[in-house]
Structure 1
């Protein structure tokens, strides 16, 4: 498995297709909520298993320099095989390379143990986003 920054239109199409499969088709998030106004100002990551695009994530700068990790998703066949971890580690390295000191994400509550295993801590009460319960988590990286 390898993670790349999506630098071409074809890679962005792969990112959006993976997100549609996971969030829209599987989790029933409305497409209008999944693809939003932050797409153009974000850095998109795509995970490949061989030549197959199988995971994605989005990174953007918010709140005066905090890196916000969003839209982490992996196709069913690679879940629980380290793919999500690979995406997260690539995004964290990207943030370190840009001297971004802190990361933030809104975790679906079922995924909190995954993010805790990567060093994130819960900093909010539960809230609903797209009809799915979430909690905000943060991690200081530098």
Structure 2
């Protein structure tokens, strides 16, 4: 099980950005200037730690219209398949509920669409490209 925390310190935020750089910039070749954007300043960031306190997952949450928008969900390659993606998503959904909202939205890379469907998300768009990667928009009623 992943220990998911909202970032409160510079160190935690650096851990989030380091994970995102490894997953999106190095692994998926997303340009750094696209990965790190103007929304990072105001988003709620999350970092997920293993039992050994190793940071292995990251994400951010923004509130857009009536949705909690789940973004930049990343798990280090060697830790995928351990349920950590699910753990960080459930933590973000809990925060969305505490803000009084009942809907979440995310733009999923198409290879991960089934993963999100298994968590209750429904695809509401056709495929589109973002940072050179095929995506779909998905929503969930909490």
Both structures adopt the same fold (TM-score exceeding 0.5): yes
Structure 1 residue 97, shift from structure 2 partner: 1.3
CA distance in 1, matches of 2:100, 2:120: 18
For 1:26-105, what aligned pairs fall within 5 Å after superposition? 26-49=27-50, 50-63=52-65, 65-105=66-106
CA distance in 2, matches of 1:41, 1:66: 16
Give per-residue Cα distances to partners, 1:110-136, cap 9 Å, x unaligned.
000110011000000100000000000
Structure 1 residue 81, shift from structure 2 partner: 0.7
CA distance in 1, matches of 2:23, 2:39: 19
Give per-residue Cα distances to partners, 1:41-67, cap 9 Å, x unaligned.
10000000121100001100112x311
CA distance in 1, matches of 2:90, 2:97: 10
- Residue correspondences, number: 140
Structure 1: stretches of 5+ with no match in the other structure: none
Give per-residue Cα distances to partners, 1:90-121, cap 9 Å, x unaligned.
00111111111110000000000110011000
- Alignment of 1:111 with 2:125, yes or no, is no
CA distance in 1, matches of 2:40, 2:101: 20
- Alignment of 1:13 with 2:14, yes or no, is yes
Deviating above 4 A after TM superposition, structure 1's stretches of 4 or more consecutive aligned residues are none
CA distance in 1, matches of 2:97, 2:63: 13
CA distance in 2, matches of 1:76, 1:70: 18
CA distance in 2, matches of 1:51, 1:66: 31
Structure 2: stretches of 5+ with no match in the other structure: none
